[in-house]
Every structure is written in structure tokens, then in C-alpha cells.
Amino acid sequence: MTFGDAQSLFEAIQDSAVIIDRAGRILEWNQGASALFGYSAREVTGRSLNLVYQQNHPFPKIIQEMLSQQQKKWTADTPFVRKNGTTGICRTTASLTENPKQGGKPLALILQQNITEDRARETALEKTSEKISDELHECLELLGINCSLLSKSVATSAQLEKQLRESELRFHVVAENATDMIARHAPDGTFLYASPSCKTLLDYDSDELNGNSIYRLVHHEDAGRLRKVFSRRRDAPNHHILTFRIRRKDGEYRWFESNIRIIRDDATRIVHEFQAASRDVTSRIMDKKARLRGQQLAHVFRLSTMEEMASGMAHEISQPLAAVVNYTQGCVRYLQKKEGHDPAQLTEIMNKAVAQAERAGEVIHRLKNFFCKGQLVRTACKINSLIRETVTLIRSDLTTSRTRVEFDLGKEISQVSADRIQLQQVILNLIQNSIDAMKETSPRQRKIRIQTEDRHAEKIEITVTDSGPGFSKDMVHKVFKPFYTTKAHGRGMGLAICRSIIEAHGGEFIIHPNTQNNSWIRFTLPKHDKPGG
Ligand SMILES: Nc1ncnc2c1ncn2[C@@H]1O[C@H](COP(=O)(O)OP(=O)(O)OP(=O)(O)O)[C@@H](O)[C@H]1O
Ligand SMILES: [Mg+2]
């Protein structure tokens, strides 16, 4: 392996990787670091690494201690600040390396992994002590694998040329500390090396993968795309990013994004190896799929409500149009008079006609927006006002059905990140269902209660209850099935659409079955300033 290979790996991993000198000054800064902190390599080279932390770390002392073997590695989870001022938490790991460019002087390789989301998740889930001990166990296992591989690589490197040795050592230091799975493959896909993180990501030990082909684990629908990259022509680019599914040891397929580099012989350009830095992106892909599903269903919903809405909209458009006709006819009559024309009066009437024509235009515009197959347009929304606003839209149905709405809206609720129109659809659907469900309830007891609560770090809860018969345990599973309805004219789509919309926002939609007339529907939405929000 050449220094160039280690260098390309340094660039390929998606974790932030930085090389600092003994004084803590930045010498090299990869693309992962630029992505995490927002600075380009040019902006930070020569500056202290503490630039990105909220507190100062004594890097010269840390390096000194690693050099004197008091410490092999230094790790800390600390707050960081991006160039744009936003903050997060990262896991920083420092290990020693040497830079052939600098005449083999000891340097430190710093890997930084953004763990902000993990941290938030941990707090939310209030991990049990059992889980912590499991993780500790895993870490110890990984540490063991790291140490044995590191010592192996040191032993091998002693027999090689100086530069090769430094390069390989550096490759392993990067590979073995990265959370990405780093792998080297022969051109036919055989694993030549798999970094220890394959245990966490795929549940395989490195030894179980080495010597086996990657194609045994790749999903058959994705294998073709991988083969295409692995059989590149001589003139093809050397770098590819590919998303594909790999089977874990327990049989589950996970989505991985792989940053693949093709290593060629400098002289002959013949491919002799592939290096891949792969990261599990399953949750990202699943979120995207849920979002798409939500968009498609919302579109179906919009089209099928078109008929119902058309008459309402026609009324809204015909009103201003009738006004335009009236004003214009008035002007014509006025102009037909032979004398006494007052331009100011004419202008006033024409301006009124213009205003009404604009109003009609606006209604049509709104209609167009509503029926277009739109993307989620998420903005910061004040959920309490949005709920009150939506209830006014359905006010006439509430009055006709003699249904009261009781608001129990929490004070100082954080803003949520949501598509206003889609969220209004969810609330309208739920209110309409409640009105329908309370047809047999005595009018004095017809009541819908809408509650908002801000009691979690990342999400807001919205609960809708009514005094109707509620949902039986049996129904809870059925009602989400498309076309399930107990109504003569129902489409059986309302709740399926509501759930899809909420899931597309990264929230949860739950129906609590009725035991003693107390069933409720609760959905959550991410707060605006939180990850995923
Ligand atoms: N608040 C509620 N209380 C009791 N049952 C309900 C309530 N909301 C919905 N249901 C039951 O769930 C079924 C499915 O509701 P959903 O909103 O998905 O479809 P729908 O209201 O029948 O038709 P549409 O697609 O026109 O909304 C309803 O037919 C009804 O039986
Ligand atoms: Mg419904």
C-alpha cells in the first residue's frame, strides 16, 4: 500500500478526520471535517484545533502523554461549535500517527464523530442500566479487536520500507478508529480487509469476512450496480458513491452508503484493489420512503376531496366574479351618461373591480396549490394557533352537528416543524371523524377535546379525544387499512392518510383503544430546532 492509499482513505471516510502537529495546529483537514464544522481546509490550516470546540483541550499535553506511552488513545465527548455558530456534541478520538511528508515526525490523528443525535435519542429513551452494560461489553470487545489488529499491523510494518510502514500504520489507525466500516476488496469483490466496525454494523467479525466475497452479502437487486463500479474501465473515474443493501449476520438487510475508491497501478492503470468506507444510512432511507408514501397518499386524498371541495370553491370564486360584473356594469352605465363624468369616482369603482378579480385569482391559486402533488414544505409552526385556525375552517359543520370543541393547549409550547397544509388536513380529518362518531351521542354531550403538551425534549404531543363510542381494541388495527370504513359514504382513507402524513414528518400516530369510554388519538411532531425537525 502506498501513502496515496492512506491519504485517499483519509479523504474518503465520512467521519471528520484531522491531522494536527504536536502544538495542536491543524495540518490536514478532510471533507468530513468540512462537512461537520463548515470550515474549508484552507480556512483552518495552521490554526489551533480548539477553534471548533467550546472549551480548550490541552492537545500538546495529550500528545506528549501518548508519546510517553502513558496513554494509547485519548477520547472525549465534547460540545463543538460550527462556523455558522450552531453547536453539537462530538466524540473526539486522538491517536498517534506519523507523516512521511514531515520526515516521520509524530503527529496526532483526530477523528470526530457527530453524536448530537445519539445524545438526544439517549436522553429521550432514558436508557436502562442493562443496555449501558451491554454497550460497555461491546466496547470492550471492540477494544480487544482493535488492539490485536493494531499490534498485527505494527509487527508487519517493521519489515517494510519506512514510508510504506508509516502509510499502512496510518491506514489502520484511521480504519480501526472510524465508525464507518472500512474495507479493502480484490477486483472480484473478495474482502482483503474489513475494519472492526463491521462487528457493530453487520455483526460479523473481521475474520469472518476476510477471504469471502462481498456479493454473498449484497442484496440481489443492488448487486448489478456494485458489479458495474467494481468492473470499471481503465479511463473511468476513481471515485464513486453507491447506496446499496448488505445483509447482517442475523439476516436483516441494512442500507449502506459506500464511498468507493478504485486503486490502480500508476503505470498500467490496471485496477488492483477497491477501498470502501461504508456507513449505515437505513434510517435516512426509511424516513425518505415514509415521506414519499405520505406525499403520495396526501395526493390521493386531495384528488378525492376535489369533488367535495369543488362546490365550496365555486361559491368562493363566483362571489367576487359577480362583484366584478356589477362594478363593471355600473361603470358602463355611468359612461353612457352624456355628461357629468367624475374621473375620481370612476377610478374608485374600477379599483374595487380589480380587488375582487384579484380575490378570485387568489382562490384559484390556493386551489392549484392544494391539488398539486407537492413536496413537504416544512416551516416552523405555532401548533396552538394552527389548531385554532383549523377549527374555524370546520366551524359550520361543528355548529350544525351541535358539537363543542374544548381546547386544552399547553402554554409556551415550542414551535413544530411541519407542512401547514398537510397538518391542517390531519386535524380536519380527526375532527370530521369525531363529528361522525358522535351522531348517536346525546347532543348535550357531544364534545371534542384537543390537547397539546410539551413534555419531551424533541417532540410535541397532540391528543384528540371525543365523547363518542371510541375505538375497540379490534378496530385499532383495522382502521389504518386503506378503504376500511363503517360509514355509508366513507372512503376509509382518512386515518391511513393521517398516519402517513405524521410519519412523513418523523412523528408517531397512535390510537389508544377504548376501555371505559376513554379512547384517544395522539400524534407527535418534531420540534423545529431539533435534529430531524
Ligand atoms: N373518533 C372516532 N371514534 C370512533 N370511531 C372512529 C373515529 N374515527 C374513525 N373511526 C372509525 O374508523 C373508520 C376509519 O376512519 P377513516 O377516517 O380512516 O375513514 P372514514 O372516516 O370512514 O372515511 P374517510 O376516508 O372519508 O375519512 C371509520 O369508518 C370509523 O368506523
Ligand atoms: Mg374519516
Cα 196 to middle of ligand 1, angstroms:
51
Kindly report, residue by residue over 491-524, the tens digit of the pLDDT: 777 888 888 888 888 899 999 988 666 789 999 9
Question: Residue 2 has which C-alpha cell?
Answer: 502506498
Q: What is the pLDDT of residue 41?
A: 92
- C-alpha torsion sign, points 367, 370, 371, 377: positive
Q: What is the pLDDT of residue 250?
A: 84
Relative to the CA of 495, which ligand 1 atom is closest? 18
Cα 453 to middle of ligand 1, angstroms:
25
**How many Cα neighbours within 13 Å face the side chain of 224?**
1
Place 132 in a pLDDT band, splitting at 50, 70 and 90: very low
Q: What is the pLDDT of residue 166?
A: 53
Q: What is the pLDDT of residue 406?
A: 96
Q: What is the mean pLDDT of residues 467-477?
A: 90
Which ligand gives the minimal distance to the CA of 496?
Answer: 1
Cα 299 to middle of ligand 1, angstroms:
19
Cα 310 to middle of ligand 1, angstroms:
23
Span of 264-273, 305-314, 429-438, 521-530 with lowest mean pLDDT: 305-314
Among 326, 393, 331, 335, residue whose Cα is nearest residue 356 = 326
- Residue with the smallest CA separation from ligand 1 atom 13 is 485
Phi/psi of residue 30, nearest 5 degrees = -90, 180
pLDDT at 370 over 90: no
pLDDT at 187 over 80: yes
Is 374:295 a contact under the CB 8 Å cutoff? yes
Is 141:117 a contact under the CB 8 Å cutoff? no
Among 521, 512, 502, residue whose Cα is nearest residue 291 = 502
Is 51:41 a contact under the CB 8 Å cutoff? no
- Residue with the smallest CA separation from ligand 1 atom 9 is 433
Ligand 1: which of 436, 446, 514 to mutate, most ligand atoms within 8 Å of CB?
A: 436
Cα 486 to middle of ligand 1, angstroms:
7
Q: What is the mean pLDDT of residues 301-321?
A: 62
Write the CB contacts of 176 (distance below 8 Å, at least 6 apart in sequence): 146, 149, 150, 195, 196
Q: What is the pLDDT of residue 104?
A: 65
Q: What is the pLDDT of residue 313?
A: 59
Q: What is the mean pLDDT of residues 313-323?
A: 74
124 vs 406, residue with greater confidence = 406
Which ligand gives the minimal distance to the CA of 492?
Answer: 1
Q: What is the pLDDT of residue 509?
A: 93
Kindly report, residue by residue over 372-421, the tens digit of the pLDDT: 545 567 889 999 999 998 888 888 889 999 999 999 999 999 999 998 88
β-bridge mates for residue 74, sequence order: 94
Q: What is the mean pLDDT of residues 420-442?
A: 90
Place 311 in a pLDDT band, splitting at 50, 70 and 90: low
Kindly report, residue by residue over 136-152, the tens digit of the pLDDT: 445 445 444 443 444 45
Place 288 in a pLDDT band, splitting at 50, 70 and 90: confident
Cα 461 to middle of ligand 2, angstroms:
21
Write the CB contacts of 292 (distance below 8 Å, at least 6 apart in sequence): 504
Phi/psi of residue 128, nearest 5 degrees = -75, 155
Question: Residue 21 has which C-alpha cell?
Answer: 502537529
**DSSP letters of 105-174?**
EEEEEEEEEE-HHHHHHHHHHT--HHHHHHHHHHHHHHHHHHHHHHHHHHHHHTTS-HHHHHHHHHHHHH
Average pLDDT, the chain: 80
Among 177, 158, 183, residue whose Cα is nearest residue 168 = 158
Place 263 in a pLDDT band, splitting at 50, 70 and 90: confident
Report residues whose beta carbon is within 6 angstroms of any ligand 1 atom.
Answer: 429, 433-434, 437, 466, 468-471, 479, 484-487, 490-496
